[in-house]
């Protein structure tokens, strides 16, 4: 064979190989582009789901803040409140009653039986007690009420000696770890300690508020943090969050957790906790450069004033000061707390000197409730209803005013556990992973030392999520978000149908996508991307028009009283959390019972204040039906629990499991 032929054969082989390589490369690029698009779509779905979770969370907080206005109104109008229970007025608006100021006597009457096999603490506490608690809580043991009370008393005693802002120093050889919201998620705290070590003289921590609520193990987290604080008071630092507040605990679960785990002594524990919260510091300053607070700042944030304010007078961030005639602070501009319009005068058993001034109260509200945004300026935090949104210009202005370099805050769930904004001057740190749903977000903590850039450590408590592919995790998160959104929708069914029908002038039962989205946002006020969510909420025809009654398909509110009108049922369901808090405040002995007359009086006030159009005769009839054994008392917790949403899918699943 000639050389020429050999060359031809060689060229031919090379050409085939090149063609195959080119085809493989094209296929790889097609697959890569497809996967990128697929991954982008999945992330968009996850982002929308997190937006739903967060919008509903903030709407709930806004409703909680609005309760403060109602309690002012209640105290002014509830004629029998002082005769029936003067403690209510003091609890809401004043300092703790004298009977509860010194509760050390409680401990003497709480015995630890020999049969108790949980952890036994030895006072004064040492590092071995931290180990003991951690090991016991890993095994789901409950700390005896006597030890809980003793820890709370000791914690309060030490906290009372501390300033409003703790000043700490680091060095290249001594770092400090900053953790954000934990919200009762014990597994996250244990994972942090596993990765980063227990608190000690050489391993300092700052826990930046919101230790409690939402999760199932708030008391365990508090006990670990308080015991660690008592052992290492100079190395473990605690900041108050907006959930270190007895009024927030009534809505978001911690009160219920305490009363469930400590059926005999739960009331005493809750009373003492109310005091402990008020003595928690409101911030930490690291190396005179970094401000660590739970929420944020406003254009009027005055750190000098906040250093001086008598923080223990802030009983609840939801209870604004009650202005007296002639109070100079009554004219302070009400720009931060949108829901609050106070009565001219509310007479309580607490003296005016036992309250913060309106201006001081607003200052504390700002640092506990505010959120950063990209837009310049300072404007009301309409999502939460309290505090403000602050832009990068406000951050620079406040930091420069006090010669600070950075603000570290928490308060907001972030998908990656942390977020940096405002040109690196604001860091959000959030330490509760799987906050909304399993797989919804990672948790994180920060390590800092003098002269070094912050280092971020991420994690996620995993059980089954690590075994499931991404699309299954996104499906689970999205389904959960749509579920709670549909519950919001059904709670406003009557209002939404009215809004739809106003737009549907031809009475076709259909609206354009724009009209439907407008009605949803205008009625629910959740600031959601309704067009993007529509495929999971409604059906459309071939022209893209929405069959608006499909907004309520496969879901309804269970009626505990069949004869009750739909409007009343929806109203009770929508406001059930608010009503439960109000009734729990009235029920000062935690019996779970209020009189029929109290129920009628409180509902009529609620009806009037919230401008709800429910006839009195419907409420009277409802009260009669709620008094099941006709003894004049209502078990309101059980009754309100009966108002729940039934999803068709749930019924199908139950039916299927029954057949299996």
Query: Active-site residue numbers?
Result: 243
Contact 243, 183 (CB under 8 A): yes
The C-alpha atoms of residue 339 and residue 65 are separated, in whole angstroms, by 7
Give the H or E element holding residue 504.
Answer: none
Best CA proximity match to 164, nearest among 275, 313, 279:
279
User: What would the two tokens of residue 247 be?
Assistant: 């009024």
Burial 101-126 (b: 16+ CB within 10 A, else e): eebeebbeebeeeeeeeebebeeebe
Query: Are the beta carbons of 428 and 412 closer than 8 angstroms?
Result: yes
Q: How far apart are CA 460 and CA 444, in angstroms?
A: 8
Phi, psi of 588 (to 5 degrees): -70, -20
Q: How many CB atoms lie within 10 A of CB 248?
A: 25
DSSP string computed for 92-106 = HHSPPPGGGT--THH
CA-to-CA distance for 453 and 290, rounded, in angstroms? Answer: 12
Are 529 and 552 within 8 A, CB to CB? no
Look at residues 57, 59, 50, 38 and name the one whose alpha carbon lies nearest to residue 442.
50
CA distances from 483 to 267, 464, 489, 548 (A): 34, 21, 10, 18
């Amino acid at each position: 064979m000639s050389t020429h032929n050999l060359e031809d054969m060689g060229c031919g082989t090379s050409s085939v190989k090149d063609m195959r390589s080119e085809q493989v490369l094209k296929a790889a690029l097609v697959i890569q582009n497809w996967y990128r698009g697929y991954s982008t779509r999945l992330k968009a779905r996850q982002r929308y789901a997190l937006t739903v979770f967060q919008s509903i969370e903030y709407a709930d907080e806004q409703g909680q803040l609005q309760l403060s206005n109602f309690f002012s109104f209640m105290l002014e109008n509830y004629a029998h409140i002082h005769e029936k229970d003067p403690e209510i007025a003091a609890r809401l608006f004043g300092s703790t009653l004298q009977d509860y100021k010194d509760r050390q006597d409680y401990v003497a009457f709480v015995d630890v039986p020999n049969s108790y096999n949980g952890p036994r603490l030895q006072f004064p506490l040492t590092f071995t007690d931290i180990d003991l608690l951690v090991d016991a809580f890993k095994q789901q043991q409950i700390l005896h009420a006597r030890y809980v009370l003793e820890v709370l008393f000791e914690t309060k005693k030490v906290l009372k000696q501390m300033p409003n802002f703790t000043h700490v120093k680091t060095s290249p050889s001594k770092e400090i770890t900053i953790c954000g919201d934990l919200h009762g998620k014990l597994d996250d705290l244990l994972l942090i300690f596993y990765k980063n070590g227990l608190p000690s003289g050489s391993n300092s921590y700052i826990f930046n508020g919101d230790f409690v609520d939402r999760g199932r193990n708030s008391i365990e987290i508090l006990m670990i943090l308080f015991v660690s604080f008592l052992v290492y008071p100079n190395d473990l630092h605690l900041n108050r969050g907006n959930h270190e507040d007895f009024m927030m605990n009534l809505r978001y679960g911690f009160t219920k957790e305490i009363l469930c785990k400590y059926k005999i002594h739960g009331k005493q524990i809750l009373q003492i906790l109310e005091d402990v919260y008020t003595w928690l510091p409101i911030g930490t300053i690291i190396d005179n450069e970094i401000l660590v607070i739970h929420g944020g700042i406003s254009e009027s944030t005055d750190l000098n004033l906040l250093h001086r304010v008598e923080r223990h007078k802030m009983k609840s961030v939801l209870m604004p000061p009650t202005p007296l005639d002639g109070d100079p602070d009554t004219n302070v501009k009400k720009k931060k707390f949108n829901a609050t319009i106070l009565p001219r005068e509310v007479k309580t058993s607490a003296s005016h000197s036992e309250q913060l001034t309106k201006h001081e109260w607003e200052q504390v509200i700002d640092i506990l409730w505010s959120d950063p945004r990209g837009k310049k300026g300072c404007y009301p935090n309409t999502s939460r209803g309290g505090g403000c949104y602050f832009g990068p210009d406000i951050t620079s202005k406040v930091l420069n005013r006090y010669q600070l370099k950075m603000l570290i805050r928490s308060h907001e769930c972030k998908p990656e556990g942390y977020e940096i904004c405002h040109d690196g001057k604001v860091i959000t740190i959030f330490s509760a992973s799987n906050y909304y749903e399993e797989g919804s977000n990672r948790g994180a903590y920060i390590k800092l030392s003098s002269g070094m850039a912050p280092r971020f450590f991420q994690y996620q408590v995993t059980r089954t999520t690590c075994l499931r592919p991404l699309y299954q995790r996104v499906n689970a998160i999205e389904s959960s978000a749509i579920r709670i959104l549909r519950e919001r929708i059904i709670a406003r069914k009557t209002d939404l149908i009215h809004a739809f029908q106003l737009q549907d002038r031809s009475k076709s039962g259909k609206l354009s996508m724009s009209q439907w989205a407008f009605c949803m946002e205008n009625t629910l006020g959740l600031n959601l991307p309704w067009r993007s969510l529509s495929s999971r909420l409604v059906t459309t025809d071939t022209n893209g028009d929405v069959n608006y009654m499909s907004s309520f398909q496969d879901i309804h509110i269970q009626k505990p009283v069949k004869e009750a009108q739909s409007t009343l049922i929806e109203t009770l369901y929508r406001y059930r959390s608010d009503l439960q808090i109000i009734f729990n405040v009235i029920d000062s002995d935690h019996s779970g019972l209020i009189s029929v007359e109290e129920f009628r009086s409180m509902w009529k006030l609620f009806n009037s204040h919230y401008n709800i159009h429910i006839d009195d005769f419907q409420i009277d009839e409802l009260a009669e039906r709620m008094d099941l054994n006709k003894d004049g008392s209502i078990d309101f917790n059980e009754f309100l629990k009966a108002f729940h949403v039934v999803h068709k899918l749930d019924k199908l699943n139950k039916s299927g499991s029954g057949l299996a």
